[in-house]
């Protein structure tokens, strides 16, 4: 199958060609035809499968016919990064088609959004909260909406956006096409799909299968040796661009600082920085200014870094789904990638869960020359013990809110910790200025 078989308008076909897409990915092959027929679609696919183009291309095709200058398609996404990525995809795939889209999310000045909406756009890519503000202020007109997309619906649910989604739905025309994409299908999403989709076509790709080009390995190590082992791993591995995951934003920040101190061009994505600094970290990672980005699951959500060569789990994730999601960022489209996970004795159960999901054992590796025998410091220095699940202060609701970090060592993981982490900071902190050092800079301290 190739893209010609969809019979896209020449302007859309030009966008596909300019993007360098030759063969549709499985989700595209399955979803594009029913979406072009105007059917409602439930798409089970995670980031990295090409799901964005699976809904963007048929929407662009629809917009080639009919009026311009009013909102005809609304795409709702959980994070600003994802919203920006979708907006960028529309911008590049719809360049010749001259389709105009705008992003609408909080944490930035509302006025430029109002101006763009006034100026006339066909597509709005929005996060729920700010979209509701615009609806409330009357600065967006959705009366002529034709297509609604809810992207990463499970994530929006996890972040507490479901009531907002329901409120948004009340302001949309009943007669519309609705597409719902989700990596997983928990009961709440099933209910939502049942309520809002009419006679939907369900398409599913590898919801629990990782990209085939990824090599997985685990590195058993004691908690207090993780940072040393990470530095050793980086020294011995030919890495282009590395995404490191930690369990808490505090650990992300500290580890980012330690990597920087060791001479790496590293940044961390976590709470307490402005949207501008966060964007600078993301842009810097994308353009290679930063070789290493340290992030929590939620802070990294939506990052599209197609060039990520290595995902390193400094802390193992809480669920097999989170593992698949993390490593979905490496080994994209025909590229190969490596996924390394540091595991301590207490991660044994999660390792088995991941192996069951992957239906394959994870290769155990040790780093030659690394001194695994260094004893744990007597005093509880940072990271000598496993991280404690972050605590949510009373009254906090959605992701992005400031959150106090519980940093006391010694506490065991709890089941609720993943949800808490997903509420972990949505803003960035770059650790110091980028240093102009090479890939294999040696430790300096
Ligand atoms: P997504 O799952 O939408 O985040 O897409 C993952 C990556 O795959 C993005 O970098 C896309 O540009 C890329 N991509 C999407 N469709 C194709 C395709 N048909 N061929 C090659 N790369 C693609």
Establish whether domains 3-204 and 214-358 are of one fold.
Answer: yes
Which pLDDT value is given to residue 359? 80
The domain made up of 214-358 has a fold known as Rossmann fold (3.40.50)
Task: Report the nearest-CA residue for atom 10 of ligand 1.
Answer: 306
Task: Give the whole-angstrom CA distance, residue 375 versus residue 378.
Answer: 9
Q: Which residue, among 157, 185, 205, 209, has the nearest Cα to 324 in the 3D structure? A: 209
- Alpha carbon 98 to its chain centroid, in Å, reads 27
Encoded tokens for 324: 């698949």
Average pLDDT, the chain: 81
DSSP 377: P
Q: Show me where the domains of the chain are located.
A: 3-204, 214-358
Going from the Cα of 14 to the center of ligand 1, the distance in angstroms, rounded, reads 16
- Ligand 1 site residues, Cβ closer than 6 angstroms: 21, 23-25, 28, 47-53, 304, 306, 332-333
Q: ∠ at Cα 385 (379, 388), nearest 5°?
A: 125
Task: Give the whole-angstrom CA distance, residue 24 versus residue 54.
Answer: 9
Task: Give the pLDDT confidence of 320-371 residue by residue, as tens digits.
Answer: 888 887 886 665 444 567 889 999 999 999 999 998 888 888 999 998 889 9
Contacts of residue 395, Cβ cutoff 8 Å, sequence gap at least 6 = none
Encoded tokens for 378: 């007597």
Encoded tokens for 11: 């302007």
pTM reported for the whole predicted model = 0.56
Q: Which residue, among 67, 70, 68, 57, has the nearest Cα to 25 in the 3D structure? A: 57
Q: What is the mean pLDDT of residues 154-162?
A: 86
**CATH 3.40.50.300 fits domain 3-204:** yes
C-alpha distances (whole Å) from 146 to each of 65, 67, 70, 120 are 12, 11, 11, 16
Going from the Cα of 308 to the center of ligand 1, the distance in angstroms, rounded, reads 14
Q: Of residues 389 and 143, which shows the higher confidence score?
A: 143
Which pLDDT value is given to residue 364? 93
Is residue 198 within 8 A of residue 178, CB to CB? The reply is: yes
Location of structure tokens 């025998």: 373
Task: Report the nearest-CA residue for atom 8 of ligand 1.
Answer: 50
Going from the Cα of 45 to the center of ligand 1, the distance in angstroms, rounded, reads 12
First and final C-alpha spacing in the chain: 54
Which pLDDT value is given to residue 213? 66
Q: Of residues 406 and 78, which shows the higher confidence score?
A: 78
Going from the Cα of 63 to the center of ligand 1, the distance in angstroms, rounded, reads 21
Task: Give the pLDDT confidence of 252-299 residue by residue, as tens digits.
Answer: 999 999 999 999 999 998 766 677 777 888 888 888 899 999 998 877
CB half-sphere exposure, 378, CA atoms < 13 A:
0
**Host H or E run for residue 381:** none
Is residue 99 within 8 A of residue 122, CB to CB? The reply is: yes
Highest mean pLDDT among 68-77, 179-188, 264-273, 346-355: 68-77
Task: Report the nearest-CA residue for atom 19 of ligand 1.
Answer: 24
């Amino acid at each position: 199958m190739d893209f010609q078989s969809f019979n896209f308008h020449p302007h859309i076909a030009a966008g596909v060609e300019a993007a360098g897409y030759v063969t549709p990915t499985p989700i595209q092959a399955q979803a594009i035809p029913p979406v072009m027929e105007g059917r409602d679609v439930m798409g089970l696919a995670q980031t990295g499968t090409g799901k964005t183009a699976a809904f963007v291309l048929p929407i662009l095709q629809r917009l080639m016919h009919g009026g311009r200058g009013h909102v005809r398609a609304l795409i709702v996404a959980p994070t600003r990064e994802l919203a920006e990525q979708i907006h960028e995809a529309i911008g590049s795939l719809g360049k010749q088609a001259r389709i105009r889209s705008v992003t609408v999310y909080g944490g930035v000045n509302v006025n430029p959004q109002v101006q763009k909406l006034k100026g006339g756009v066909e597509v709005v890519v929005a996060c729920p909260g700010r979209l509701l503000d615009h609806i409330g202020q009357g600065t967006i007109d959705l009366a002529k909406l034709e297509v609604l997309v809810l992207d990463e619906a499970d994530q929006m649910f996890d972040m507490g956006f479901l009531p907002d989604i329901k409120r948004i739905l009340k302001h949309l025309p009943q007669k519309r096409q609705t597409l719902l994409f989700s990596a997983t299908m928990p009961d709440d999403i099933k209910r939502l799909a049942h309520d809002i989709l009419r006679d939907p076509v369900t398409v599913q790709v590898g919801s629990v299968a990782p990209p085939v080009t990824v090599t997985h390995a685990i590195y058993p190590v004691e908690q207090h040796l993780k940072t040393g082992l990470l530095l050793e791993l980086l020294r011995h591995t030919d890495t282009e661009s590395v995404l490191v995951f930690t369990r808490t934003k505090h650990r992300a920040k500290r580890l980012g600082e330690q990597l920087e101190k060791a001479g790496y061009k590293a940044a961390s994505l976590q709470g307490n920085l402005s949207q501008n600094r966060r964007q600078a970290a993301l842009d810097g990672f994308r353009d290679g200014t930063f070789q290493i980005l340290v992030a929590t699951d939620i802070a990294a959500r939506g990052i599209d870094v197609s060039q990520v060569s290595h995902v390193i789990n400094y802390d193992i994730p809480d669920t097999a789904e989170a593992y698949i999601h993390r490593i979905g960022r490496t080994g994209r489209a025909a590229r190969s990638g490596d996924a390394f996970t540091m595991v301590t004795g207490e991660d044994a159960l999660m390792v088995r869960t991941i192996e069951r999901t992957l239906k394959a054992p994870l290769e155990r590796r040790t780093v030659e020359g690394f001194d695994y025998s260094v004893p744990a410091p007597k005093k509880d220095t940072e990271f000598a013990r496993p991280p404690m699940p972050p605590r949510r202060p009373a009254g906090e609701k959605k992701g992005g809110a400031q959150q106090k970090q519980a940093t006391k060592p010694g506490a065991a993981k709890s089941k609720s910790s993943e949800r808490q982490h997903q509420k972990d900071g949505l803003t960035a902190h770059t650790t110091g200025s980028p240093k102009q050092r090479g890939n294999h800079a040696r430790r300096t301290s």
